[in-house]
Amino acid sequence: MAATLWSLYQNAYDEAYSRHAVIERDGTTFVSTGDIDAEWLRDASAVVKPYIGLALSDQDVRSTLRGVISRQAKYILLDPYANAFTLDYRVAERKFEMDSLLYPIWFSYLYWKASGDRSIFTPEVERAFERVMGVLRTEQHHNSRSHYHHPQLANGGQGNPVDYTGLVWTAFRPSDDACTYQYNIPDN
pLDDT tens per residue across span 13-65? 677 777 788 889 999 999 997 778 899 999 999 999 999 999 989 999 999 99
Report d(CA 145, CA 137) in Å as an integer.
9
pLDDT value at 118 more than 90: yes
Residues 161 and 116 in one domain: no
Residues 15 and 67 in one domain: yes
**The domain containing residue 150 runs over which residues?**
140-188
Residues 86 and 171 in one domain: no
Q: Which of 86, 102, 132 is the last residue of a domain?
A: 132
Residues 80 and 158 in one domain: no
pLDDT level of residue 79 (50, 70, 90 thresholds) = very high
Residues 95 and 155 in one domain: no
Residue type at position 117: D
Residues 107 and 148 in one domain: no
Q: Which of 132, 154, 173 is the last residue of a domain?
A: 132
Residues 108 and 47 in one domain: yes
Residues 94 and 116 in one domain: yes
Structural domain tally of the chain? 2
Residues 6 and 42 in one domain: yes
Task: Map the chain to HEC letters.
Answer: CHHHHHHHHHHHHHHHHHHHEEECCCCCEEECCCCCCCEEHHHHHHHHHHHHHHCCCCHHHHHHHHHHHHHHHHHHHHCCCCCEECCCCCEEECCCCHHHHHHHHHHHHHHHHHHCCHHHCCHHHHHHHHHHHHHHHHHCCHHHHCCCCCCCCCCCCCCCCCCCCCCCCCCECCCCCECCCCCCCCCC
Residues 91 and 158 in one domain: no
pLDDT tens per residue across span 127-176? 999 999 999 999 999 999 999 999 999 999 999 999 999 999 999 999 88
pLDDT of residue 9: 67
Residues 128 and 144 in one domain: no
Q: What is the pTM of this model?
A: 0.93
pLDDT value at 125 more than 80: yes
Q: Estimate to the nearest angstrom the gap between the alpha carbon of 82 and the chain centroid.
A: 9
